[in-house]
């Protein structure tokens, strides 16, 4: 009864959504908990509510600065003042303020990188922590090994007598769940897992020749309703699609990590508020994007693994209405995906160089300055050199490469299987137990029964190029 009381009092809801109560009770019982909840708004409540029932600080580890900002804002709207995100957005003065009042915050957001700093760790150990939250916990498995190694070191930052850990995610395979449990050093982890099946998503694979792919994607967008996302493999291609769509008078923008933070936020906001119908993006787009009415996800390339594919198509149809997820595949696409997947993995000669530098007393990070390896390669390599014997590092890297190859082939296999939905579900240890009309292109699918036709709308004369609009809205940002 008391839980419902707090729910009403603090958040204004009358009842919990599926799963929330069990997760919250598990945490309040002091259990390490992993909650795999369906996408959407429900997840943050799982730590916000307990935060009000316990004394001390809730520490939330979040993968993206923009995600932290959103959550801080959300909490502030709920009237919470004792909330802060400690990150590089803050000025020196703001940082000092947060440090001075650190023990007074109820909710404190940190990146895994921040948490790796010794000074931050010491400060954290002095706090009275009530709960540790790892948001988007699949990042541990998806990014930790070859992109953001700090994700593997979260447990090292914890005080010996730590409070329970809550890991949150919407998509995690069995293997990913094991990684999460292992690297967070969970004790007797309670898992709450809900089906990943999304009956209103219809999966389609279209095999094409390379020369016709782009044209066919354009035709699909012109023919059927949005809003939607086109996922491409490179930034350039995302821009190219956006340009083409714009020439057909479709309200769209591109989105990738090469853009300024503020531009990215602006585009995302425009899409969420319905002023843009299509986003042409790399895989940078999506985390933390809660748009209800996305009707189409189109893939111009094959994602690296099943989990990535699930995350990307999973952004469609959150309103429960039918949505179409089409992936265009040409015969040699998988080789390019593999190429990109291997880009930043250290080569043997790079490992040798790293070793040579450290043994001769040179700073190994000079290798980045000298252009011998990328920032990412260096960070990943430094992590493994630090955690393994040098002679084992090459083997580790080869093992990572093998895993990537394996994971890609699993996705390719599912996409060419006899039922795409069944293949996806089986990958998550679930069974397909209902027959769904227009299930997938392997079972047979008619687009017209899923989507309405695209309605041409004239772009109004007031519609301004987004860059101009930024400058009009925020004059201090003009170049």
Residues that bind DNA (CB under 7 A): 63-66, 87-89, 111, 113-114, 117, 143, 146-148, 210, 233-237, 240, 256-258, 281-284, 304, 332, 335-336, 339-344, 375-376, 379
Whether 214 contacts 451, CB under 8 Å? no
Q: Please report, for residues 51, 149, 207, the alpha-carbon distance to residue 159 in angstroms, rounded to integers and kept in the order given.
A: 19, 20, 53
Nearest to 110, CA basis, from 157, 40, 41, 52: 157
Distance of CA 309 to the CA centre of its chain: 11
468/475 Cα distance (integer angstroms): 10
Considering beta carbons, is residue 32 or 300 the nearer one to DNA?
Answer: 300
Buried b (16+ CB within 10 A) or exposed e, 394-432: bebbeebeeebeebbebbbebbebebbbbbbbebbeeee
Considering beta carbons, is residue 269 or 459 the nearer one to DNA?
Answer: 269
Q: Give me the least distance between CB of 450 and DNA, in Å please.
A: 28
Rounded to the nearest 10°, the torsion over CA 181, 185, 189, 191 is -30
Q: Give me the least distance between CB of 178 and DNA, in Å please.
A: 20
To which residue do tokens 């995906």 refer?
A: 337
Tokens of 436: 């769904």
Q: Give me the least distance between CB of 310 and DNA, in Å please.
A: 15
Considering beta carbons, is residue 94 or 375 the nearer one to DNA?
Answer: 375
Considering beta carbons, is residue 88 or 247 the nearer one to DNA?
Answer: 88
Pairing verdict, β 107-110 and 83-85: parallel
Please give the span between the terminal C-alpha atoms of the chain, in angstroms, as a whole number. 56
Cis peptide, bond prior to residue 71, ω within 30 of zero: no
Q: Give me the least distance between CB of 89 and DNA, in Å please.
A: 7
Q: Give me the least distance between CB of 263 and DNA, in Å please.
A: 13
Considering beta carbons, is residue 161 or 332 the nearer one to DNA?
Answer: 332
Q: Give me the least distance between CB of 416 and DNA, in Å please.
A: 18
CA angle 95–99–100, rounded 5-degree value: 115
Considering beta carbons, is residue 236 or 457 the nearer one to DNA?
Answer: 236
38/169 Cα distance (integer angstroms): 8
Q: Give me the least distance between CB of 3 and DNA, in Å please.
A: 32
Q: Give me the least distance between CB of 328 and DNA, in Å please.
A: 13
Considering beta carbons, is residue 258 or 274 the nearer one to DNA?
Answer: 258
DSSP 443: T
Considering beta carbons, is residue 98 or 155 the nearer one to DNA?
Answer: 98
Q: Which residues pair with 195 in a beta bridge?
A: none
């Amino acid at each position: 009864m008391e839980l419902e009381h707090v729910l009403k009092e603090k958040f204004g809801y009358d009842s919990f959504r599926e799963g929330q109560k069990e997760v919250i009770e598990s945490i309040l019982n002091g259990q390490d908990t992993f909650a795999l909840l369906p996408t959407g708004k429900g997840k943050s409540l799982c730590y916000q509510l307990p935060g009000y029932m316990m004394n001390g600080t809730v520490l939330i580890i979040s993968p993206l600065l923009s995600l932290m900002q959103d959550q801080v804002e959300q909490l502030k709207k709920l009237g919470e003042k004792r909330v802060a995100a400690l990150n590089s957005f803050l000025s020196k003065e703001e940082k000092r303020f947060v440090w001075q009042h650190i023990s007074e915050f109820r909710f404190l957001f940190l990146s895994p990188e921040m948490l790796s700093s010794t000074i931050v760790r010491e400060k954290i150990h002095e706090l009275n922590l009530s709960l540790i939250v790892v948001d988007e916990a699949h990042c541990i498995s998806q990014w930790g090994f070859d992109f953001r190694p700090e994700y593997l070191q979260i447990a090292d930052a914890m005080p010996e007598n730590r409070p329970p850990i809550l890991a949150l995610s919407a998509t995690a395979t069995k293997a990913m769940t094991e990684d999460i449990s292992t690297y967070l050093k969970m004790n007797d982890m309670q898992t709450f897992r809900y089906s990943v099946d999304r009956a209103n998503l219809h999966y389609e694979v279209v095999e094409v020749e390379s020369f016709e792919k782009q044209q066919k994607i354009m035709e699909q967008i012109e023919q059927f309703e949005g809003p939607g996302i086109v996922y491409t493999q490179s930034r350039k291609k995302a821009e190219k699609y956006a340009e083409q769509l714009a020439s057909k008078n479709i309200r769209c923008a591109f989105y990738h990590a090469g853009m300024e933070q503020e531009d990215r936020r602006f585009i995302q906001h425009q899409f969420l508020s319905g002023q843009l119908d299509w986003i042409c993006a790399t895989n940078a787009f999506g985390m933390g994007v809660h748009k209800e009415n996305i009707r189409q996800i189109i893939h111009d390339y094959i994602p690296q693994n099943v989990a990535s594919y699930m995350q990307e198509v999973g952004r469609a149809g959150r309103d429960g209405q039918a949505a179409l997820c089409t992936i265009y595949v040409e015969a040699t696409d998988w080789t390019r995906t593999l190429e990109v997947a291997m880009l930043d993995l250290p080569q043997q000669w790079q490992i040798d160089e790293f070793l040579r530098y450290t043994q001769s007393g040179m700073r190994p990070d000079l290798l980045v300055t000298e252009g011998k390896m990328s920032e990412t390669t260096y960070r990943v390599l430094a992590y493994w050199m630090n955690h393994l014997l040098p002679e084992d590092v090459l083997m580790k890297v080869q093992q990572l490469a093998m895993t990537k190859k394996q994971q890609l082939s699993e996705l390719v296999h599912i996409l060419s299987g006899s039922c795409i939905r069944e293949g996806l579900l089986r990958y998550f240890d679930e069974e397909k137990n209902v027959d769904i009309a227009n299930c997938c292109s392997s079972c047979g699918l008619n687009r017209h029964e899923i989507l309405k036709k695209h309605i041409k709308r004239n772009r109004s004369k007031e519609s301004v190029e987004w860059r101009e609009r930024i400058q009009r809205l925020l004059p201090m940002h003009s170049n």
